A and B are shown apart, each in its own frame.
Chain A
Amino acid sequence: MTQAEIKLCSLLLQEHFGEIVEKIGVRLIRTGSQPLRVIAHDTGTSLDQVKKALCVLAQHNLVSYQVHKRGVVEYEAQCSRVLRMLRYPRYIYTTKTLYSDTGELIVEELLLNGKLTMSAVVKKVADRLTETMEDGKTMDYAEVSNTFVRLADTHFVQRCPSVPTTENSDPGPPPPAPTLVINEKDMYLVPKLSLIGKGKRRRSSDEDAAGEPKAKRPKYTTDNKEPIPDDGIYWQANLDRFHQHFRDQAIVSAVANRMDQTSSEIVRTMLRMSEITTSSSAPFTQPLSSNEIFRSLPVGYNISKQVLDQYLTLLADDPLEFVGKSGDSGGGMYVINLHKALASLATATLESVVQERFGSRCARIFRLVLEKKHIEQKQVEDFAMIPAKEAKDMLYKMLSENFMSLQEIPKTPDHAPSRTFYLYTVNILSAARMLLHRCYKSIANLIERRQFETKENKRLLEKSQRVEAIIASMQATGAEEAQLQEIEEMITAPERQQLETLKRNVNKLDASEIQVDETIFLLESYIECTMKRQ
């Protein structure tokens, strides 16, 4: 783990879970897998606290454990999983677009709690939704369950591995740590629960649910004591599936930018059809025949079969090479070239960074070297039509920033510089890695700045919070308008201004973190799929 990644992980852990968890987590990331006692000893925290911290981390899938020989259990932190915490807002937003508020809240609860049983999720979400609804209306459990089932069917949530039920009565001592297993088939199987009920509104002290006799109150508490029907079956959000969805989105928008709306819809249909059938790391989707695609087009699009065929031919012939033709049966079999698409997107990211940092002439030289693979300095000047001095300057600048590298080809065995060819080349994988590292550091910088801004104005924030609390309590006890006005004036106008600026800055920094995370996603997907191919 690089220094930048460790720094970022420590910032994230601290923000979400607090100091102690951060200390333990960073220790584990830095030193790999360690047993419990060693962690406690090295970090100087008490065993009890270490246990609690590890509990929190394991609940959120940030730490895994393994039983080694001689019964020693070692804990290992998953650094990449910690970095996923940056992407939570994007996951939640995606679910909102696909499954509206209910889905959004389900995924939010799962992400915030790590693992939950289905009944717990449904109950919580129903309660939350009921609060936001108008008076008198409540959210039915059935609706929430339906959304949950739909999420499980499309693989956005999955079951966590659980302790296997041992049929044989093993008389030996239980192992120090259970090994969790999950059957492929069961991963998305929703247990048959009959969850009946409605969401409950959180009652504030004076809101009287009229008609509810007080006798009913004890019954609710007994409800909680009943055994939950699906105890032991925990669910978690399936991040891989979300990543697949993001990747599909990126491909569709790239096609829309390059061609037109209809082509992007066709590509979206093709990707939707291969969502479940293709694994996320496959280089190509399953071949889809043109007839199938025609049948699966969304209802609003009534284009004729011929036009569809033309579009598919155009897509297959496009220099982008996102879609390829793999056969002629069934009206033409088409596949989507996932690896090529990711490579193109990563290259476009690199080009965009070069353009913004160094200027469009540099971007021209960069694309030239990318296309020609290896090229001499003299040829760069000729092809790019840029004066020699400027071209030289730009090449050296990009070389020093590690976007390019030099390949030496000696003419003589003694490698004399005057008799050697020097060719410029771009290695996309290493440039992507370099850029990824820069992204991590940038996000760490943005988070630090945000914390700094908040700390600077801590006094002001506390004051405004106190004032709000006072106002709320006074409103509850029915104070007069004049008194409320007086309290509000405790915050002066310039202070109000400052608060506004602070809010705006924090929002901007937050939004920027999410934007940089989009770049991280593209680069990471590209690096992952290239490494798998090798």
Chain B
Amino acid sequence: MAEVKVKVQPPDADPVEIENRIIELCHQFPHGITDQVIQNEMPHIEAQQRAVAINRLLSMGQLDLLRSNTGLLYRIKDSQNAGSVSFYLSKMKGSDNQEKLVYQIIEDAGNKGIWSRDIRYKSNLPLTEINKILKNLESKKLIKAVKSVAASKKKVYMLYNLQPDRSVTGGAWYSDQDFESEFVEVLNQQCFKFLQSKAETARESKQNPMIQRNSSFASSHEVWKYICELGISKVELSMEDIETILNTLIYDGKVEMTIIAAKEGTVGSVDGHMKLYRAVNPIIPPTGLVRAPCGLCPVFDDCHEGGEISPSNCIYMTEWLEF
């Protein structure tokens, strides 16, 4: 008579129990637990059962598998994600792991979005599969495509409910991928007028030169407040935006900038210094060469005596002489 081998199952070897224990452990150590820790907790469970439990938790999406320099870590997924995951699980009951993987990658990209080629690199899936999956996900309204302002043909994907980052949409200067040049021009002129009038009042005050010069300066904070009060902008503008506009004025040669050290806490100071701007005049009037027609002539290189175009029959000169 053969002995029936009875496998003695330890009392809490129920798979669900194991999983619950592991989840509890993860909650205890929110930074993640290693396999060693689980083993220590439940020494009577065989490695195989442990592995099965962990795999189930992973596939359900309740645990995150991370790699550290010591080995593998298991971490509980935080509740928010767990919530959305269950939401998505309910939608993706039938989806395969590939879609989950792609979704994971897009989620990781945050609000900067990720390009389809990058998804391909990260998931190692073929292009056709990727495209199918992306279309699927889009139809399920889980992700959306946002056109990048940098390269107009490129589309980046991000989660449906996220706001795209400024670097993708271009921030305040872009509305629907179009660069708003008139808006920039208007802001440009308004800032310049403000600085000009400030310089005028300073000049007319006729006090000693030091005070005159200091009062003709305006900090970037002042300009920002003025523009906000003017209310010509529909979009909320930050101080950095105003500083980029003021920089364009510097490149127009109409404004100069100095940086002074300011106490932390004075209004408008960033990291202990403030930028001051002042309207200036150009240092020379338009130079002599451009007052002659030859200075602006588009066919200058073709002009020589005796040719089709020559000083004797130059039409630009004739027009200019008739002024």
- Interface residues, chain A, CB within 8 Å of chain B? 250, 253-254, 257-258, 260, 262-263, 306-307, 310-311, 313-314, 319-320, 344-345, 348-349, 351-353, 355-357, 360, 363-365, 367-368, 371, 383-388, 435, 438-439, 441-442, 444-446, 448-449, 452, 505, 508-509, 512, 514-519, 522
Contact = CB atoms under 8 A, between A and B. Distances in A.
Contacts of A517: 288
Contact of B258 (A263, A310, A319, A344): A319
A345 B287 CA distance: 10
A320 B295 contact: no
A310 B209 contact: yes
A41 B150 CA distance: 70
B184 interface: yes
A348 B280 CA distance: 14
A353 B295 contact: yes
B253 A351 contact: yes
Interface stretch (B1-9, B59-67, B311-319): B311-319
B179 interface: yes
B87 interface: no
B292 A356 contact: no
A103 to B, nearest CB: 25
Interface residues of B, number: 45
Contacts of A441: 294, 300
Given A314-B210, A356-B295, A367 B253 contact: yes
A406 B286 CA distance: 27
B253 A257 contact: no
Among A306, A349, A449, A452, max chain B CB count under 10 A is at A449
Nearest to B181: A387
Given A352-B286, A353-B289, A438-B289, A384 B248 contact: yes
B208 interface: yes
B300 A448 contact: no
B184 A385 contact: yes
Given A348-B282, A352-B286, A356-B290, A449 B314 contact: yes
B168 to A, nearest CB: 14
A356 B286 contact: yes
**Secondary structure call for the A interface:** helix
Interface string B215-248: 0000000000000000000000000000011011
Given A260-B203, A356-B296, A452-B312, A442 B282 contact: no
Contacts of A314: 209-210, 213
Given A363-B252, A505-B321, A446 B283 contact: no
Contact of A345 (B181, B248, B284, B311): B284
18 contacts: A254-B283, A257-B283, A257-B284, A258-B283, A307-B209, A349-B284, A352-B287, A352-B290, A364-B251, A368-B251, A438-B300, A439-B289, A441-B300, A442-B292, A442-B295, A446-B294, A449-B311, A509-B321
Interface string B281-308: 1111111111110111000100101000
Contacts of A512: 288, 291-292
Among B247, B256, B311, max chain A CB count under 10 A is at B311
Contacts of A371: 250-251
Contact of B288 (A253, A320, A363, A515): A515
B173 interface: yes
Given A320-B283, A348-B284, A438-B300, A262 B209 contact: yes
Given A385-B244, A388-B179, A442-B292, A258 B173 contact: no
Interface string B165-209: 000000001000001010010001000000000000001000011
Nearest to A445: B311
A360 B312 CA distance: 31
B49 to A, nearest CB: 53
Contacts of A383: 244, 247-248, 251
Contacts of A445: 294, 303, 311, 314
A517 B281 CA distance: 24
A517 B295 CA distance: 12
